Amino acid sequence: MNNFFQFSVFLIFLLLAGRNSCSQPVLYLDFKDGLVKQNEKIISPEMARYKSDLQLSEFVPGLKDLALDLSENAVLRKPWVLDSTVLPECNEKSSFSVQIWVKTLPYAKQGTPVIGNKKADSEKDKGWLIYTQENSAWALNLSDGKNQFNYIPTVERQAINDGHWHQLVFSINRDIQEARIYFDGRNVAIYNIQGLRGMETNLRTIAGGSDEYWEWGSYGQWNSFNGYIDEVKIWDKAISDEDIIHLYEEFFPYPEDKKSEHIFGQLKVLSWNIWHGGHRFGKSVG
């Protein structure tokens, strides 16, 4: 009986370990007090050249601990520079995954980077970037400097400025040349990225903005995200659909009816050519 009990406990441990395997990212930001103090650069009044040198990042209650405040309410809207020493490579052989949770004030204006290693408004340039469109939906750009893949959903389906937390995730699987994109736990797109080479750049990877305008008393505010960010995680592998649902369920229940959408019995693919995108029969309604 004692052996049976020990074996049962061991099985439960293995199941829990498997369920939480995705919880071991190479980078994790939840903006705890210790992390904040460790990364903030304190400048004495005597050494400060600009007023902004004396200001510190602001935080609000987040999903678990604190969230970085980059909203219009923050005095210093300073994006977060990620630790390059732990980030996975972005070459043509490296798989990786990125998660970030975002929230805004209701109807907050959008149109900025959210997280990435490239400049804003530079789709053709090398790198990867999660960003928000001016219509308040989010988007993703992947580029090797020649080839690029863009996921640009509609605002009706995937707006992020409704005052609620939203999980944004993408994964790059180089073994099968596939990119998967997720919104609030749900797999919303799968791209065949055959031919996409490395996305490494000389720019820093920034959460909440881009590596631009960090001089003359500026701290990247020009392109900083208009909202709050939390639970930033990066893995050096492509995590699974189930992993991402579990990550979402850490904070919100995932609808049971949507879980069945991840199970396919049969898939049929059709291909067709639309004359001038349908515009021949009406620019707006063709």
pLDDT per residue as tens digits for the range 166-221: 999 999 999 999 999 999 999 999 999 999 999 999 999 999 999 998 777 677 88
Q: How far is CA 148 from CA 23, 173, 174, 221, 236, in A?
A: 30, 16, 15, 27, 21
Residue 42 pLDDT greater than 70, yes or no: no
Partners of 67 in the beta sheet?
60
For residue 209, what is the DSSP state?
S
What 3-state class would DSSP assign to 81?
strand
Average pLDDT, integer, range 2-13: 52
Specify whether the CB–CB gap between 207 and 78 falls below 8 A: no
* C-alpha to C-alpha distance for 282 and 267, rounded to whole angstroms: 32
Q: Which among 163, 182, 159, 184 has a CA at the least distance from the CA of 250?
A: 184
* C-alpha to C-alpha distance for 197 and 143, rounded to whole angstroms: 8
Q: Which contiguous run of DSSP H or E holds residue 11?
A: helix 2-19
Question: Would you place residue 48 in the very low, low, confident or very high pLDDT band (cuts 50, 70, 90)?
Answer: low
Residue 110 pLDDT greater than 60, yes or no: yes
Residues in Cβ contact with 211 at an 8 Å cutoff, skipping those fewer than 6 apart: 117, 119, 203, 204, 205, 220
How many other CB atoms are there within 10 angstroms of residue 159's CB atom?
20
Helices (H), 125-204: 155-158
Token look-up 């580029």 returns 143
Q: Which among 106, 159, 148, 111 has a CA at the least distance from the CA of 126?
A: 148
Average pLDDT, integer, range 7-16: 50
Specify whether the CB–CB gap between 220 and 209 falls below 8 A: yes
Specify whether the CB–CB gap between 57 and 221 falls below 8 A: no
Q: Which contiguous run of DSSP H or E holds residue 245?
A: helix 241-249
Residue 240 pLDDT greater than 90, yes or no: yes
Q: Which among 128, 147, 148 has a CA at the least distance from the CA of 201?
A: 128
More confident residue, 79 or 6: 79
The mean pLDDT value of the chain amounts to: 86
For residue 205, what is the DSSP state?
P
* C-alpha to C-alpha distance for 225 and 142, rounded to whole angstroms: 19
Question: Would you place residue 122 in the very low, low, confident or very high pLDDT band (cuts 50, 70, 90)?
Answer: confident
Q: Which tokens in the block code for residue 224?
A: 């900083």
* C-alpha to C-alpha distance for 97 and 165, rounded to whole angstroms: 20
Residue 112 pLDDT greater than 90, yes or no: yes
The CATH number, out of the four listed (3.90.950.10, 1.10.8.60, 2.60.120.920, 2.60.120.200), of the domain defined by the range 25-253: 2.60.120.200
